[in-house]
Amino acid sequence: MNIFDIKHSNRKKIYFYMREHIRATRQQISFDLHLSVPTVTQNLEYLAQNGLLQSEVTVDGRGGGRNPTTYTYIPDAKISIGVDITRHHLKLIAIDLDGNVIKYIYRRCLYERTEEYLMLLGREVDHLVALAGIESKRVLGVSIAVPGIVNSHRGIVVDGRVIDNTGMTYKDFGKYVRYPSRLMHDSDASGFSEIWNSPSIHNAFYISLCNSVGGSVFIDDKVYDGDGLFSGEIGHLILHPNGLSCYCGQKGCMDPYCNAELLANHADGELHLFFDRLEKGDKNLVKIWDDYMNNLASSIISARMLFGCPIIIGGYVGAFIKPYMTKIWQKIDKKSPFGEKSEYYVLPCKNKTESVATGAALYYIQDFLNEAMVFDDAKHKKA
């Protein structure tokens, strides 16, 4: 560890202490973290100068001696924006450093590979920042999540057959966005929101049951993309050889048996109506749902066999799945080859609304907290 690392690590320790305790004096921090008062003071001042903490002198009224300065953590000192692009919707969310939602915009609009659409995206980002009442300099960046296989390091969609976005880059999507931007796979984003909300889970397989079925693998809290970047694409696991055709070209993939549209199509295109009517005992829907759960259970067993980690059921269907978990666990336990109890490793998602946009936004928050507090360093600025 060189001197820069030590300084940075002390600053992080102090900042995370403040995040947890909200308010503290330099003496308390020095005592709790076993750091010298000058070290703590220097870092607190640095954090306050950069707008991350607020300082105020507490007057104790007794007179004599110096009044202590109290520092307060500011959750919305920085915000991050997440965008969820789907075929029919554009959703934007602004979150603070604690991951709390500040503002949200939902638009029903058809995705199009046009300049007009990109301009609309740029305008909606500005609109969101204005609604949130946040100064531009506090925006860390805009994370754009899209369907398709995304090389998030290069910021390019390498396979965008779901909504025709193959070859599009973060620069394309961010053409009219005035903040740093990045691009990611939608299921990686929603999976990440689950990992963020589950401090005890570091390895997991996230199944995204949206209008297409996706998945993502997390190892030590990070997405494992694999060499071809399609690791976790459970939607294309063959469940029924020579079965239903999938948009990928194969037959019998999990996707046509477990996508959310399959259910919504039986209820006027609305997934919540499907579950309403199912609750009311619609016999046709009970049968459709039972078949769906059987296919889901088989897929979960395969994921568990391959990864041996917790399996989280998310996506549009995941938001409704909690009341049916006992049924799903029973189905899995009946078939599972190793006799484990699936209730301990198959979990319904926690984040039921806008997990894609929130998860995308959390990436900038995570980067900030990892690198953070290094404002004088060019590293913080995204190329």
| Dihedral class, residue 150 (left if φ above 0, else alpha if ψ from -120 to 50, else beta) | beta
How many whole angstroms separate alpha carbon 134 and alpha carbon 246? 44
Give min distance, CB of 252 to Zn ion, in A. Answer: 8
Give min distance, CB of 223 to Zn ion, in A. Answer: 21
Q: Which is nearer to Zn ion, 245 or 353 (CB)?
A: 245
Burial class of residue 227 in the structure, from the number of CB atoms within 10 Å of its CB (0-12 exposed, 13-18 middle, 19+ buried): exposed
- Contact status: 246 vs Zn ion (CB under 5 A): yes
Give min distance, CB of 352 to Zn ion, in A. Answer: 26
**# chain residues binding Zn ion, by CB under 5 A:** 6
Give min distance, CB of 259 to Zn ion, in A. Answer: 10
- Contact status: 250 vs Zn ion (CB under 5 A): yes
How many whole angstroms separate alpha carbon 41 and alpha carbon 241? 66
Stretches 8-16, 49-57, 247-255, 323-331: which one binds Zn ion (CB under 5 A)?
247-255
The residue written with tokens 């039986």 in the block is 266
Q: Which is nearer to Zn ion, 99 or 235 (CB)?
A: 235
How many whole angstroms separate alpha carbon 203 and alpha carbon 191? 11
- Contact status: 243 vs Zn ion (CB under 5 A): no
User: Out of 24, 125, 207, 253, which residue is the one contacting Zn ion (CB under 5 A)?
Assistant: 253
| Dihedral class, residue 314 (left if φ above 0, else alpha if ψ from -120 to 50, else beta) | beta
Q: Which is nearer to Zn ion, 236 or 304 (CB)?
A: 236
User: Out of 91, 185, 236, 266, which residue is the one contacting Zn ion (CB under 5 A)?
Assistant: 236
Q: Which is nearer to Zn ion, 234 or 347 (CB)?
A: 234
Helices 355-371, 186-197: inter-axial angle, 10-degree rounding: 70
Burial class of residue 137 in the structure, from the number of CB atoms within 10 Å of its CB (0-12 exposed, 13-18 middle, 19+ buried): exposed
Q: Which is nearer to Zn ion, 231 or 250 (CB)?
A: 250
Q: Footprint of Zn ion on residues 149-168 (CB under 5 A)?
A: none
Closest CA to 383 of 186, 155, 224: 155
Stretches 57-65, 126-134, 155-163, 241-249: which one binds Zn ion (CB under 5 A)?
241-249
Closest CA to 154 of 176, 134, 170: 170
| Chain CA centroid to CA 322, Å | 20
- Contact status: 238 vs Zn ion (CB under 5 A): no
Cα–Cα distance list, 218 to 91, 231, 237, 337, 360 (Å): 24, 10, 18, 24, 15
Q: Which is nearer to Zn ion, 162 or 253 (CB)?
A: 253
- Note whether 166 and 106 are within 8 A (CB): no
Q: Which is nearer to Zn ion, 159 or 225 (CB)?
A: 159
Q: Which is nearer to Zn ion, 120 or 248 (CB)?
A: 248
Which DSSP string corresponds to 21-68?
Answer: HSEEEHHHHHHHHT--HHHHHHHHHHHHHTTSEEEEEPP-SS-SSPPP
Stretches 89-97, 167-175, 230-238, 280-288: which one binds Zn ion (CB under 5 A)?
230-238
Stretches 126-134, 234-242, 280-288, 361-369: which one binds Zn ion (CB under 5 A)?
234-242
How many whole angstroms separate alpha carbon 84 and alpha carbon 86? 6
- Contact status: 105 vs Zn ion (CB under 5 A): no
Give min distance, CB of 213 to Zn ion, in A. Answer: 9
User: Out of 101, 201, 248, 273, which residue is the one contacting Zn ion (CB under 5 A)?
Assistant: 248
Point out which residues bind Zn ion (CB under 5 A).
236, 246, 248, 250, 253, 255
